[in-house]
Amino acid sequence: MPAQLQASDTVTRVFRQVVGEHGDKTAVLSKDSAQEFQPTSFRELLGEAARLASGLRARGIQRGQHVGIVCDTRKEWMVADLALLGMGAVDVPRGSDSTEDELSYILSHAGCAVTFVENEAQLRKLQATKSRLPELRTAIVMDDSGLDAPAAGGQGLEVATMAQVAAEAAADADTWFDTEIEQGKADDLATIIYTSGTTGEPKGVMLTHANFVYQVGVVPAHVPIGPGDVLFSVLPVWHSYERLVEYVALTRGAAIAYSQPIREVMLADLVAANPTYFPSVPRIWEGVRAGVYRNVDHEGGIKKVLIPEENVKDLAEIPENVKQGLEIVAVSHVDEVLEHALTSVPAPIEWTEADDLASQPGHPQVGSSAPTAH
């Protein structure tokens, strides 16, 4: 981990330093086509960002240019973000729940000539409002499953896939990207995050590399994150809070495990990823609590008791009629408690669609967290 951050540091310069120290460690856990977590090392992540940045350069993207990203939480978001920050461009992020009107206003106001979109559904939003986006000339699709990119273009909008752009990288992509990272300055603009627009038109909040590096420097003093830790990611990554979570992980040698705030996905992923931290917001915990209460009401009583291993000897003092019908399990670590809670019965938490964070319009305000303890 970087021993001491410098006032002149940028996000990508600190990340590159971590790559030098922990290059073979896991930086990202993301799902493959079989919905299994697959690791990407810090060195591999830097290489993917370098190739994408080089491909973007071949398409005319330059330092200081604004590039849109319309996407939910996933590995490709991180790759695109690092590519843009490393080459000195400025990303303009938004979630996939954004409406056509929101996107047309934001991308037009920011002057984005190129925009990343998560999938074909987001691409259709841009196509539907192309007449209001005169500067937009290229859409780059991350998840190109079943997409015929050349045929999807038209109306003055070229459509390319993210893989295609990365494949256009020059042979010297790694060396060039390293040089671009060195040219970056702390006061360079990193991102423009637009407000929700509930009190009028969305307003762009301009954040520099220095803004993020300061936060990255102070968080570890309160939350001891480092190599070997896994941070569980379900919140909207374009919000400033989850983005800070990403950068803290990247610059501390920890890993990010990407999931979704949906019951069937999130609960199983918690067990599979086995995170040490779960940065979240009250809405997530309220959904879990509501699900537990519904389950208790449905089952009609206690079925399993988890006790610390050191207290097993005390079971002899509990009357047999009290223990009758209960499954008593000794646990030694909080991870075992989580595993039993999530896997011991077919539906340990009766979570309804209304509890899903993703079902809430615009998602909740993300201003607080409740990370799990070690």
Is residue 211 within 8 Å of residue 46, measured between CB atoms? no
Tokens 């480092």 sit at which residue?
Answer: 226
* pLDDT for the residue numbered 324: 66
**pLDDT tens digit sequence for 103-122:** 999 999 999 999 999 999 99
- Residues 142-179: b if buried by 16+ CB within 10 A, e if exposed: bbbeeeebeebbeeebbbbbbeebbebbeeebeebbee
How do residues 277-325 score in pLDDT, each as one tens digit?
A: 999 888 887 877 776 667 666 665 555 666 666 666 666 676 776 666 6
**What is the pLDDT of the chain when averaged over all its residues?**
84
pTM of the model: 0.81
Distance CA 307, CA 360 (A): 36
Tokens of 27: 């930086």
- Give the tens place of pLDDT for each residue, 164-180: 999 999 999 999 999 99
- pLDDT (mean) for 79-85: 98
Q: What are the Cα distances from residue 99, in Å, to 16, 114, 365?
A: 36, 18, 18
11-273: which CATH architecture?
3-Layer(aba) Sandwich (3.40)
**Domain ranges across the chain:** 11-273, 295-359
Sign of the dihedral through C-alpha 105, 106, 111, 116: negative
Distances from the Cα of 260 to the Cα of 30, 68, 198, 237, 357, angstroms? 11, 22, 25, 11, 9
pLDDT of residue 268: 87
Q: Which of 12, 28, 22, 11 shows the shortest CA–CA distance to 233?
A: 28
